[in-house]
Amino acid sequence: MNKKETAILRYLKNNDSKVTQRKIAEDVGLSLGSVNNTVKKLVANKILDEELNIIEDSMFEKPKRAIILAAGYGMRMVPINTEYPKGLLEVKGQPLIERLIKQLHMVGVHDIKVVVGFMKEQYEYLIDDFDIELVVNQHYSDRKNLYSLSLACQQQSLEKTYIVPCDIYAKENPFKKEEISSWYMVTNQLTKNSDVKVSRNFDLKTIRTAEIGNKMIGISYVSKTDGKYYTNRLQDFVESSEHDKEYWETILNHNGTYQVLANIMSVGKVYEINTYEELRNLNSNSNQLNNDTISLLSEILNVDNNSIKDITVLKKGMTNRSFLFSCKDKKYIMRIPGEGSNELIDRQKEAKIYELLEKEKITENVLYINPNNGYKLTEFVAGARNCNIDDNSDLEKCMETLRKFHSLKLKADFEFNLYNQIDFYEELRGANSNYRDYDFVKERVLGLKDYIDTLTKDYILCHIDANPDNFLIDKAGNVMLIDWEYAAMQDPDVDIAMFAIYAMYDRKQTDNLINIYYQNQCDDETRTKIYAYMAICGLLWSNWCEYKNSLGVDFGEYSLKQYRYAKEYSKLVYEILEGKENE
């Protein structure tokens, strides 16, 4: 039986009223001619009678269970996702996940597992109210829902199972009392944000990024026939780390085609709610639209809430989550501090730094900063890009900007003490380091302090977080240095060291950077001092990474590289100093 025949039979089985072939075509997503031809075959094969009644229905089965995927951050839901997990967003006074559970109950599915992670505690009440089972995904921050799905079917297969994203609002019940085959739900709306498109043969074909496809809803059903196969395929995929960043739908993809029925829904019958604006468009009276961040923006910009539009989450930063939005034809960026960031950063000091920089025209235009919680609103710089760490032209522009800032010799009444910060991050981290030789490396790194203390140094306001990503180059080639969260009094050579280790430079690249900053006038002593700072700062950020990792935020290679800087550059400095002694 082909997919067109299966789609028509499924529709007829779950539709109580008499329907015409034209109605079938509209609701199933086929042309009228295709429906006519398919119905003729089904009648000829004595599966349907002339009145479109199903004669042979042994191929139908009753769904047994459901898995609801609710572990993720819902990053695109900024700023609501700072207060609620996406499954608990309310539409017409009802949380999305409650509506989905009730719709499943209506078709006789009561064996329901909900996979949770982010804000998992807020879902706990579902156990008592709906007799569901919670499955906790501890890796929700670093693995996609392929892993979540695998956790939910460790004790049972996927057969006769609905797979359901938690952020779906369906006006009509998308689940049925009887199913005929595995399927994956899309709508007839075409969009650029899709991985699949329904072909003429009613297949779901994967498409390239630039192509237009059918909007993916994500609700799916796995039949008894396919259950064992997809369960095994899922486990095979999960056991390979190369699939950690993939969504569960990857198991459906066989050489560019999903081997399941395309279940096509009409636009307006089912919604996937991914953004604040999608929620606002669907239910403008939702209580969760009364978000504190949106209200704050409205107050600052002197507009009503509906003027805040085009909200788009920016790349999740190491410390913050930020989103871009437009208001009256201008664009802005709102920064919201991330997990544990207010333990790491003194927001009062940060606000003072922006006061010092206000007249210097060296950073972004800050419209608002809250010294208590770190919320910050800035104007968006259209067409700006980050520094290309492999382009000497970019490095020259950025180091010129850094020299200009250092030449201002600004003063603050607080410092960034490298050694105290190492102790501070160790204390936040709590447990012993995961690195086996940490105590030895730390002792060697801290031993560099005696050498550094003998050197003559400037002591001025430094950026401290001179990450290449914090240098913005606009269309005219002008450079801004942004994000001053760590800025404080220090030796300006620390900023050069920070740039090098953030860029993960090797020694040759580091020497090139030093030569650019110092315009080929750097003496050996200063160069060695910068190496020493790289070791100290590497140990500092390694501890920072371990603390963030304890909060569920993993920085992969970056964290390993910082520890390597601590080891390798401390060793290098001692070798240089010993060489001088032997001269």
Give DSSP secondary structure letters for 321-358.
EEEEEEETTEEEEEEEE-TTHHHH--HHHHHHHHHHHT
Task: Reply yes or no: is the peptide bond before residue 174 cis, omega within 30 of 0.
Answer: no
d(CA 546, CA 526): 30
d(CA 179, CA 7): 10
Residue 423 belongs to some domain of the structure: yes
Do 436 and 562 sit in the same domain of this protein?
yes
Rounded to the nearest 10°, the torsion over CA 529, 530, 531, 535 is 100
Residue 56 belongs to some domain of the structure: no
Predicted local distance difference test score (pLDDT) of residue 581: 67
> Helix, strand or coil for residue 37?
helix
CB 495 within 8 A of CB 471: no
- The ranges of the chain with pLDDT < 50 are 317-318
Do 91 and 180 sit in the same domain of this protein?
yes
Boundaries of domain holding 302 = 291-377
Predicted local distance difference test score (pLDDT) of residue 267: 86
Do 491 and 520 sit in the same domain of this protein?
yes
Rounded to the nearest 10°, the torsion over CA 342, 346, 350, 352 is 140
Do 204 and 90 sit in the same domain of this protein?
yes
Do 362 and 504 sit in the same domain of this protein?
no
d(CA 482, CA 403): 15
Positive or negative: CA dihedral 75, 77, 78, 82: negative
Half-sphere exposure in the Cβ direction for 52 (13 Å, CA): 22
Residue 305 belongs to some domain of the structure: yes
Instruction: Name the nearest CA neighbour of 466 among 549, 395, 528, 374.
Output: 395
Positive or negative: CA dihedral 77, 79, 85, 88: negative
| Residue recorded with tokens 């089972």 | 133
Residue 283 belongs to some domain of the structure: no
d(CA 326, CA 275): 14
Phi and psi at 184, nearest 5°, equal: -135, 130
Residue 467 belongs to some domain of the structure: yes
Instruction: Name the nearest CA neighbour of 138 among 545, 542, 551.
Output: 551
Share above pLDDT 90 across residues of the chain, in percent, rounded to a whole number: 67
Beta-ladder partners of 469: none
Predicted local distance difference test score (pLDDT) of residue 442: 96
Do 301 and 402 sit in the same domain of this protein?
no
| Residue recorded with tokens 């597992």 | 113
**What's 449's domain CATH number?**
3.90.1200.10
**What's 341's domain CATH number?**
3.30.200.20
Please count the structural domains in the chain.
4
Do 322 and 411 sit in the same domain of this protein?
no
* Listed residues 346, 377, 408: the one ending a domain: 377
Structure tokens belonging to residue 131:
């007799």
Sequence letter at residue 536: I
Q: Which helix (H) or strand (E) holds 219?
A: strand 213-222
How far are the Cα atoms of 298, 318, 344, 510, 569 from residue 563, in angstroms, in the given order? 44, 17, 19, 17, 10
SS (H, E, C) 363-387: CCCEEEECCCCCCEEEECCCCCEEC
* Listed residues 361, 377, 393: the one ending a domain: 377
Residue 450 belongs to some domain of the structure: yes
| Residue recorded with tokens 């669907």 | 282
Q: Which helix (H) or strand (E) holds 197?
A: strand 196-198
Do 187 and 315 sit in the same domain of this protein?
no
Do 363 and 260 sit in the same domain of this protein?
no
Structure tokens belonging to residue 464:
């401290």
Predicted local distance difference test score (pLDDT) of residue 342: 62
Which letter does DSSP use for residue 314 in this model?
Answer: P
How many CB atoms lie under 10 A from the CB of residue 92?
10
Residue 284 belongs to some domain of the structure: no
d(CA 471, CA 171): 47
Q: Which helix (H) or strand (E) holds 152?
A: helix 145-152
Residue 207 belongs to some domain of the structure: yes
Do 157 and 83 sit in the same domain of this protein?
yes
* Listed residues 272, 306, 322: the one ending a domain: 272
Phi and psi at 129, nearest 5°, equal: -75, -30
Do 369 and 392 sit in the same domain of this protein?
no
**How many helices (H) and strands (E) in the chain?**
19, 25
Do 535 and 420 sit in the same domain of this protein?
yes
